[in-house]
Amino acid sequence: MQVKFPYSFDRKDTTISILDRFSTLEPASHTGTNVSVAGRVMLMRPQGKLAFARLVDSTGSIQLFATQDDSELFSEFSKLSIGDWIGASGEVITTRKGELSVRVQEWVLLAKTKRGFGDKWKGISDVDLKYRQRYVDLWANPESRSILQTRSKTIAFIRRYLDELDFVEVETPVLHPIAGGASAKPFVTRHNALDIELYLRIAPELYLKRLVVGGFEKVYEIARVFRNEGMSPRHNPEFTMLELYQAYSDYEDGIELIEDLISSLARELIGTTQISYQGRSLDLEPPWERKSMCELISKSLGEPIDLDVEYSHLLSLCKDKAIEVKDEWGPGKLILELYEKICESELWGPIIVTDFPQEVSPLARSHRSKVGFTERFELIIAGRELVNAFSELCDPVDQRDRFQAQAQLKETGDEEAMAVDEDYLRALEYGLPPTMGLGMGIDRLVMLIADVASIRQVIAFPTLRPEAI
């Protein structure tokens, strides 16, 4: 006797395990092996006193074969809709045409669907609909589910990799009294009992370095961060960053670590370091090309560019490139703008761009030999900034000066400039050892590994304008 909508179902077998065990049967075989499977009916082909259904679970799918002779509930079975959840048990067989199937002896309806799952062949492709009703997209378009599985594997790999290097995974506050650690506009929220405004974090950086001060020599956090900025195929208002900090190390160590992490990840998930992204090839085998920011600009412009070039000349170069210059910008900012305007879009990578001007790197340690620069690098892969890292600024006096320069920018209207964080300065006064810090956009990394063009594809529920229902 069939019970509808039971509270549980004893699923003993996944579809993939059945496929693995019985992949080489002749047509019209009987195995004598009984299995019980559960999942969603995604195709139903009733044929008189026979019915064929495709049962899909999270591991794959298998055909269900039912006949009137075997099952007193045959007629109900043959009326199942696409999308219904069922549990079924019976013998593993192959049909006359050789299709591996479960010959249904017993089955139970676990949940009924009242809505359609889109076009049988094309699924759903309306981008808005896909993300508003992700639960439909994930069934109708198996590729969508596969991409999220790749995301899960990527993050699991990163954890395994860092754990093996004795990194400690930590969690730091999401609600910040001062939004620091990056240049970005924060979301503002409010704590009623404390009667204060709080900011959703734009980066975990300053808290992680406090932990290094506190004695954690290798820490990381896989951190959801929030930036109140425009959206695009490469930007979601909330996204996930990996940030890691390693004491006694500098940015050269960071380059080595990230080269090994990303190339190992590609080997593990794709099977090779020779990958392609959106039709263009990428060689992720280390070592990667390294160029300083000024080298890149100099090459593009065909003249030597450095911080000792006359300010007025940098200004005229910016003007030539239609860069809107603000009065308070110094030469370092002009150099960064030139790089971003004329070099960055030409880079495909992987390439390590090193030595950013100090003026635009308020948390990075001054370069040991290049005056006015910092020991900072960004990693460009597939034309996108994937990693930002540096030898951390440890000197509380220097850090206070940098914060104050940022605070001045904020006063002149730069909404993304940093504020002075007195507690962070106090932490530095207790002593931060030489430390390498590195941040990586996880969503963009997954885009690269899964070879997809839009960040929304790698986020289960990307931010959308609320629907008027």
Partner RNA sequence: GCGCCUCUAGCUCAACGGCAGAGCAACGGACUCUUAAUCCGCAGGUUCUGGGUUCGAAUCCCAGGGGGCGCACCA
Window 103-122: residues binding RNA (CB under 7 A): 115-122
* Nearer Cβ to RNA (237/429): 237
Q: Is residue 402 close enough to count as binding RNA by CB under 7 A?
A: no
Interactions with RNA, residue window 436-465 (CB under 7 A): 439, 441, 443-444, 453-456, 464-465
CB of 429 to RNA, least distance (A): 26
**Interacting residues of 341 by C-beta distance below 8 A, sequence separation 6+:** 321, 323
Which helix (H) or strand (E) covers residue 312, if one does? helix 311-320
Q: State the DSSP code for 67.
A: E
- Rounded-to-integer distance, Cα 222 and Cα 70, Å: 52
- Rounded-to-integer distance, Cα 423 and Cα 429, Å: 10
Neighbours of 171 (CB within 10 A): 10
- Rounded-to-integer distance, Cα 158 and Cα 321, Å: 40
- Rounded-to-integer distance, Cα 228 and Cα 231, Å: 9
Q: State the DSSP code for 339.
A: I
CA separation, residue 366 to residues 125, 232, 355 (Å): 50, 33, 9
Interface map 120-139 toward RNA (x if CB under 7 A): xxxxxxxxxx-x--------
- Rounded-to-integer distance, Cα 387 and Cα 254, Å: 10
CB of 342 to RNA, least distance (A): 11
Residues β-bridged to residue 283:
274
* Nearer Cβ to RNA (77/131): 131
Among the listed ranges 49-57, 152-160, 204-212, 418-426, the one in contact with RNA (CB under 7 A) is 49-57
3-state secondary structure (DSSP) of residue 286: coil
CB of 369 to RNA, least distance (A): 25
Interface map 183-222 toward RNA (x if CB under 7 A): xx--------------------------------------
CB of 248 to RNA, least distance (A): 25
Q: Is residue 401 close enough to count as binding RNA by CB under 7 A?
A: no
3-state secondary structure (DSSP) of residue 152: helix
Interactions with RNA, residue window 337-366 (CB under 7 A): 340-341
Q: Is residue 227 close enough to count as binding RNA by CB under 7 A?
A: yes
Interactions with RNA, residue window 233-272 (CB under 7 A): 233-237, 239, 241
Q: State the DSSP code for 341.
A: I
Interactions with RNA, residue window 275-294 (CB under 7 A): none
Size of the site for RNA (CB under 7 A): 74
Q: Is residue 302 close enough to count as binding RNA by CB under 7 A?
A: no
Interactions with RNA, residue window 61-100 (CB under 7 A): 63, 65, 67-69, 78-79, 81-82, 95-99
Q: Is residue 157 close enough to count as binding RNA by CB under 7 A?
A: no
